[in-house]
Amino acid sequence: MVEKHSMREAPHSIYRMGEQGSRGNLIGRNIGNYRIVTELGSGAMGQVYFAEHMVMGRRAAIKVIREELSSNADMVQRFVNEARSVNRIGHPNIVEITDFGELDKRYYIMMEMLEGETLEERLERVQHLDEASALHIAMQVADALGAAHELGVVHRDLKPENIFLTRRGGRNDFVKVLDFGIAKLTTQLTPTDATIPGMILGTPHYMSPEQCYGDSQLDHRSDVYSLGIVLYRMLTGRLPFEGATLQRLLLAQIGETPPPPRDLNSEVTERTQGIILRTLEKNREHRFPDMRSLRAALDGTGPVQPAIERTRELASPAPELAVTPLPTVEPDKDQPRRVGSRLAKILLDRIRSDRLVLPSIPTVALQCLELLNKPELGLAKVVEAIGQDPIVAPQVIRRAHSALHGGSERVRTIEQAVSRLGARQLRALLVELSARRLFESRNAAIRKLFHELWEHSLAVAQVARMLALRRRDIDADAAYLAGLLHDVGKPVSAALLLEAERVAAKQAAAWLASDAWLGVISECHREVGVAMARSWNLPDDLVLAIARSARYSNEGPGSITSVVCFANALVKRAGIYPGAFDLEKNDALVREGGDLYCMSEAAITALTAIIQDEEAQRNTLPS
């Protein structure tokens, strides 16, 4: 029910975001023909005030950017984008912006005053909605976002708090989509419009996997995913993905399959469940291609699945990496991207259905890692377990006796080695030895390549440790492992690719040029690396670093992801990487890392020389 208010009374609305107050002394001020009456609340970017037209009594909400953000060009631009985006769209299901301007060097947006409640408030009150009501709301949101997408505007922060339910023209639950403050204009970007690569913008519970990766090239299918999560919650009262930490939540968005809605609410129809699950596809190519097709599915006039069901390349379980051969393509510069994209789809399908055969961690390493997580047991059982493995035992002794850990006394027993290394470094070594096995191959064609990939990973790990030791907020051992494992998905992807090539060769279909082989696995290895690390029960920060180490984290220099990204760029600059890569892009990452970690160009040059020297020394040592 819509409440009635006096002229001086602020209506209940979305804009009531916090305690009332008088920040900035704007109450009583005039903006055009409007007088500011009271503050309704505040958000991350500014305060929202209730204002009245001094002659006509018309009500308005005025959002004013925070005083401390007014000098921040990026924040001001984002504020301007909101007004520009909404004004361009002009859809009845999007909150109307009536004016935009500046007051005391603070920008403001004047909006229609909405009375009612947010979808978040509704769901907090009733837990979940019946299917008809949920579909009614979702169709209006799809209409609004569809209009935005047609003009190249992606919302990027769709959630129940930004869906307002009001009454309009005798209709209940008339939707107004709010807060285009981080919307992206995909058709006309300027440098200040562009998102910083790697920065996470949005609300994690409703973000698409590509948002979680920090992808700067988000498109309208990200909003399709977010609307799917909103619909899931409306019908089940629960979110499809949860996490005790931000890292765990992001990893769930990236790699976990949600419980089917009908498992939580039996009244959800099969058709609606199919719509939701398609919107929540991890690969955006498999979602509804646009809001128009999603809207048609919601109202029953369009199909739930594509007209041509996508090929299930690996539908039957198999103990080995058997695949249907990939299509023949002509060698060209786009070949790695095309084949890599196809291979990534195959891998993702297998990961999500638990049909990707991932290398398991060696038994002795698994036993020791479990024992190391129980310090009350002491190290005696760890020593006993290592002693039973004729391959691991000598390597543990060799590492303990190395210059990095050694002392004047020679290590002769496993007990001495374990004692010298300690639990943390022993844990890192066991994971390293397990990962090393993945980069070995009997195939002569890729043996050298795998060796070079491993050398690259070792160098990144050592540089990541070096960078971490310069700071107090990063675990150096964790940084080392994250650097070592950042490319761990490549050998697993390579195994699948080799099998596909073997099948193609039998059919006389030479579909992949040899110089494009590494480019293909580089296109699709991260998802496999994440699945690999999670199957080994590695810590969340390591898993997230594998997923996102191609770009810097918005958490800043104290993030392991950022350390690995910088280390990777430095090692590539030093020439320790098999195959080609984008030199210009890599140099940009090095410069950005130098700024992030306060390293001058001279210091970076000196560090690069050290990396090259250590690599040369490592290559002169016996294996």
What interhelical angle do 221-236 and 119-126 show, nearest 10? 30
Alpha-carbon distance 307 to 225, whole Å?
20
Catalytic one among 143, 157, 223, 541? Answer: 157
What's the rounded Cα separation, in Å, for the pair 83 and 98?
9
| Distance separating alpha carbons of residues 573 and 576, to the nearest angstrom | 8
Identify residue 204 by its one-letter amino acid code.
P
Cα-Cα-Cα-Cα torsion 199, 204, 210, 211, nearest 10 degrees, comes to -30
Token look-up 């990766």 returns 213
Q: Shortest CA distance to 154 belongs to which of 179, 178, 180? A: 180
Residue 324 burial (CB count, 10 A): 13
> Which structure tokens are listed for 143?
């209409």
E strand intervals along 119-255: 153-154, 163-168, 171-177, 184-185
At residue 138's C-alpha, the angle toward residues 136 and 140, to 5°, is: 75
Q: Residue 133: which residues within 8 A CB-CB, separation 6 or more?
A: 173, 234
Q: Is 568 helix (H, G, I), strand (E, B) or coil?
A: helix
Contact status, residue 327 vs residue 338, Cβ threshold 8 Å: no
Is position 157 annotated as part of the catalytic site? yes
**Residue 384 region by backbone torsions, left for phi larger than 0, else alpha for psi between -120 and 50, else beta:** alpha
Could you list the active site residues? 157
